[in-house]
Amino acid sequence: MDGIESNTTLPVLPEAVHPILDELKIGQSLGASRYIRRINDLFCAIAEHWGTDRGQELIRCLLATGDYFIEIRGRNTPAVSNAIHLVLKGLGQYSSSNVAAIREFISTRRTEYNTQSIRNIDLIATYGANLFANRKAILAFDYSSTMMAILKKLADWGHHKYLIVTEGRDMVGGQPIVQEATDFGHTVNFVLDMAFHHFLPEVDAVLAGAETLFANGDCWNTVGSLPIAVVSNYYNVPFYVTTELIKIDARSFQGIRKPIKPVDYSDLFDYPASFKHPELVSVSAPNLDNVPGNLISGYITERGVLLPANIYAETLNFLGSIGVMPLL
């Protein structure tokens, strides 16, 4: 996940919470699941350090902070929007103006959500480790906390793998995989993004994460995911996606899908300084790919390994369980 770039305005927050806010702004908490848990920590810190006894002002601040992160991160990552709505659900109608009661409300919601998220990731790790236990070589593409949980579980079970990891230049998503995977004891060959196809014939599976999950079984993930999926299909290498079901875009049940917008890569390419004729050069491109469900061998989720064709029913059931009912 990249850093925050938006003109959306945050409310004035207590000075003591700025370290968490800064961490979120630079994307230091890699992976959507960890990122959401840190947003929940921010909510609790705001309530804990609130400097007045005006509870309704605290409620407005928390809701505005939630709206900020929904606007910033929820556009292409529904997990952020879904999680914030779930954690703050009912706060706007909360009758108490007692700051201590609001702190307790937010703390309880944070604990409930974070505990369930960690439990979900452990389930995903177990399903994934069982799936990959007898596979010797895996191509791991772009950092995902659920992917890393699977790799850690494999190592905990004594199954050390040979990994091909691409650089993941768009979000510098490869090096964090290398650092953690080698800490776990896995062996890694770290390669250029566009060299991936040389290594696909020697791996037993591809493992990637997802930014967004759609009702028809497609997903969005970091740019580069689609060519890897296509070439994996060419070589008959299974392509698995690991994700919590909370990443489902509820609008997709109505066939609504926002376009993938291009991002500016000036910093990455040192533009305009590195170009002789910068006025003739543009450096924007999408940073996400749509991966069709027919290229995906299975989704590794907290409800097991699901075929893309099963995503509709499973995610509809999931949304109902958290009180979100999409229009069909």
CATH number at residue 209: 3.40.50.10470
Helix (H, G, I), strand (E, B) or coil at 291: strand
Domain limit, last residue, from 119, 137, 172: 119
Q: Alpha helix (H) ranges present in the chain?
A: 18-25, 32-48, 55-73, 78-88, 99-132, 145-156, 175-184, 196-199, 225-234, 311-321
Q: Alpha helix (H) ranges present in 174-310?
A: 175-184, 196-199, 225-234
| Segment 20-63, tens digit of pLDDT | 998 887 765 456 778 888 999 999 999 999 999 999 999 999 99
Range of the domain at 153: 124-321
Angle at alpha carbon of residue 213, lines to 207 and 218, rounded to 5°? 75
**Residue 148 and residue 67 in one domain:** no
| Residue-level pLDDT at 77 | 77
Q: pTM for this one?
A: 0.85
| Residues of the chain scoring pLDDT < 70 | 1-8, 27-31, 74-76, 327-328
**Residue 115 and residue 147 in one domain:** no
**Residue 107 and residue 128 in one domain:** no
Q: Which two tokens stand for residue 126?
A: 């177990």
Give me the amino acid identity at 224.
Answer: G
